[in-house]
Amino acid sequence: MDRFQSQSNMAVPQLNLDDYNIYSHLSDEELLQIAVERSLSDMHHPPGSDQTTSSSSSAPPTLAAPTQTNLNPRQRHPEAHRHRYHIPPSPSPPPEPPDVPNCANPPEALSRFLYRAFRREFSPLQCLIMNGDAEALVGLVRQRSNSLMTPNDEGWIALHEAAYYGQLQCVRILLRAYPDSVNRRSLTNQTALLLAAGRGHVSCVDFLLQHGADPNIANKDRDTPLFTGDVSETSACEHPSEAIVELLLRSGAQVNLSCSQGATALHEACRNGHVKLCRMLLETGASLHTRNIYGIQPFFTAAQQGHVNVIHLLAKKGADINGQAADGASPLYEACKNGHVSAVEALLSLKADANRSMKSGLLPLHVAVQNNHTRIVSMLITVTSRVRVRRSGISPLHIAAERNRDDILELLIESGFDINAELSEEHSRMYEDRRSTALYFSVYNGNLEAAEMLLEARADPNLDLFNPLLIAVRLGWLDMAKLLLRYGANANAQISTQPSSFPSAILLNMECLPMLKLLLDNGCDARPCFDCSYGQNPHPAVTPSRRPIEEMQVSRDAPPLRSIQFCEVVSSSSFCRVTDPIISMLLDYVSHVHLCSRLRELLDSCSNWTSIKLKALPPHPLMQLCRLKIRCLVGVRRLKLLHTLPLPVRLVRFLQYDVHCSLT
């Protein structure tokens, strides 16, 4: 720190102020204009010509600063996440003002234009300070210019500007001229010290502290210089944050003051992963157990950001490794959520509790699956209690299936998680269709590979309120329907919210003939399609019904619906073009049936339905009756094994309804 002190004790160079006496009659605005134009001319005077001595002992900074109407370097932006420190904002450097004088734009040619450009974006005083023109500033002090102490729209005076831009010479001049302004506050309670600390200007911070700056004055967000100095990203030396924190602590900064969101300087050091700063703060008495408004302790913040070295440091100092936030999240939960593999390893080595859940019941394993962190999932599987998983009301399998995390799904299946675990009532109510199994999620997503994985692991396809098969049928997914039926899905499943006198699978997609045949081949009962309660009597008019896909939603407020009949559906205008092949196919899977009056009307209205009429009328062919009887006695499941028996191939194909084969 000696070099900082030596810099602050440098004397202001002796300046020739006589030439300013002739301008004493000018106004502040005119005086500022002359000072700026002279500053620009001195900075860019052609080589070899007469020019005055350099106005500053240090090189002028780059003209990168906010506009006059936005001078607050600590402007806050609302964050979408529940925690303020979850993802730190990364401020981008403000753009340079257009047409800044340089070697490509000499001021001699564009002097007036440049001045207008500066006037448009920066006040003349700002330009003077940004350029570090100490000579021009001394002239303004000599003239007792009111502009130096007149606040702008945000309450900034010249000292604030000098501290913000890190112009040490300007800070010295202004403080010696106006020593009482050292703790002058802006409209948001910003002091020069807070601005300098926030921008990482170490030498300015040192000088201000030596001249009476209070290190504990906070702005309206209750951010102190220690807090802002800790998060500084601007480099005035190799490690500005450490130097500024050391200066502030040595000058009496209170280490445990918190901002408006309850965070302390230690929270910020943990968020940024500054191990040395954390150690400095802890040695000065920083509390490990201070919580912000979200209930977050500094250790939680370090885990949230994945800073392993900080995690180990704070753990050695006695931090609460399992300290939970207000919503129940633990440090391990946050590290798992954000995919910090090394941090998760460190926390587990410190015996962090993998079974400490959120208030919602979710465990670290759940959130690792949700965010597709496979390595972390593999680490958590062995330390996660299956009992706690059951109590949570949702299995990691559900999340993996819902998010199409096939690799993780396979890992969980191999680890022995209950393949038929059902969602709790609370979780199931979050879905309109009241789904409950991981298999349902995979079918709903159309994920054939995941569904096959689950079915091969003996997932039951008939546990959900709405059978997953009905989803595949309704959406016309033939391969998915074949897969489910092969593993025993109930082809006669019903939709409880839309009762029908015949299987719901036929109701959902009878116009797709390949799907209809697949269902009938796998045990879907066609006979109820011809069981009409009205028989030969007149039928009432058909009332419009909701679309079948809409019926796959549970509504406790909806009144009970009347059971719909096949003749009502097939006689609607939407089926007029496919009614004949539908009825013809259904008749192949039934024996003696009686057509109701409505179906007869349909047959009589179309002359090319003669063959279908004959198929419906008795007597039926003996071969047809035998096939139906054999299929009934054998059963659908054992029919799939007929090829293993020493039977003629033609017979097997006949029993399996190979329409291209007959026994004639």
Instruction: Give the pLDDT score at 581.
Output: 82
Instruction: State how far the alpha carbon of 204 is from the alpha carbons of 149, 212, 574, in Å.
Output: 19, 13, 81
Express each pLDDT in 268-325 by its tens digit: 999 999 999 999 999 999 999 999 999 999 999 999 999 999 999 999 999 999 999 9
For tokens 């196919």, the residue is: 585
Q: Same domain for 387 and 486?
A: no
Instruction: Give the pLDDT score at 6.
Output: 38
Residue 192 lies in a domain: yes
In whole angstroms, give the CA distance from residue 409 to residue 428: 20
Residue 417 lies in a domain: no
Residue 628 lies in a domain: no
- What does the mean pLDDT of the chain come to? 79
Q: Residue 102 forms beta bridges with which residues? A: 105
Q: Same domain for 320 and 243?
A: no
Considering 392, 424, 453, which residue would you say is the last residue of a domain?
392
| Cα atoms in the Cβ-side hemisphere of radius 13 Å centred on 496 | 11
In whole angstroms, give the CA distance from residue 116 to residue 111: 9
Mean pLDDT, 10 residues at a time, over the chain (664 residues)? 39 41 54 58 46 36 34 33 35 40 37 38 85 90 89 92 94 94 94 92 94 94 82 44 90 93 93 93 96 96 97 97 96 98 97 96 97 97 96 97 97 96 95 95 97 97 95 95 95 85 89 92 90 76 52 50 77 71 86 81 70 76 82 79 82 75 44
Instruction: Give the pLDDT score at 608.
Output: 61
Determine the residue type at 603.
L
Q: Same domain for 364 and 506?
A: no
C-beta atoms surrounding 396 within 10 Å? 30
Among positive and negative, which fits the CA dihedral 531, 576, 571, 607? negative
CATH number at residue 208: 1.25.40.20
Q: Residue 169 is part of which domain span?
A: 1-45+55-67+94-248
Instruction: Give the pLDDT score at 324.
Output: 96
Determine the residue type at 513.
L
Q: Same domain for 215 and 342?
A: no
Instruction: Give the pLDDT score at 534.
Output: 75
Q: Same domain for 200 and 326?
A: no
Q: Same domain for 15 and 156?
A: yes
Report whether 628 contacts 526 (CB < 8 A).
no
SS (H, E, C) 258-272: CCCCCCCHHHHHHHH
Residue 331 lies in a domain: yes
Q: Same domain for 508 and 615?
A: yes
Cβ neighbours of residue 644 closer than 8 Å, sequence gap 6 or more: none
Residue 437 lies in a domain: no
Main-chain dihedrals φ then ψ at residue 105, nearest 5 degrees: -130, 75
Cis amide bond preceding 215, omega within 30: no
Residue 630 lies in a domain: no
Q: Same domain for 297 and 194?
A: no
Q: Same domain for 99 and 240?
A: yes
Q: Same domain for 338 and 218?
A: no
For the record, the structure tokens of 348 come out as: 């587990």
Residue 660 lies in a domain: no
Report whether 36 contacts 118 (CB < 8 A).
yes
Instruction: State how far the alpha carbon of 178 is from the alpha carbons of 135, 141, 170, in Å.
Output: 17, 9, 12
In whole angstroms, give the CA distance from residue 462 to residue 484: 10
| CA dihedral angle for residue 74, residue 78, residue 79, residue 80, rounded to 10 degrees | -170
Q: Same domain for 151 and 189?
A: yes
Express each pLDDT in 410-446 by its tens digit: 999 999 999 999 999 999 999 999 999 999 999 999 9
Percent of the chain with pLDDT over 70: 74
Angle at 194 between CA 191 and CA 197, to 5 degrees: 150
C-beta atoms surrounding 261 within 10 Å? 17
In whole angstroms, give the CA distance from residue 266 to residue 283: 11
Number of domains the chain contains: 3
- Say what the pTM is: 0.73
Instruction: Give the pLDDT score at 597.
Output: 79
Q: Same domain for 497 and 381?
A: no
Residue 551 lies in a domain: yes
Considering 226, 248, 270, which residue would you say is the last residue of a domain?
248
Instruction: Give the pLDDT score at 501.
Output: 85
Considering 373, 392, 411, which residue would you say is the last residue of a domain?
392
Report whether 122 contacts 68 (CB < 8 A).
yes
In whole angstroms, give the CA distance from residue 398 to residue 415: 15
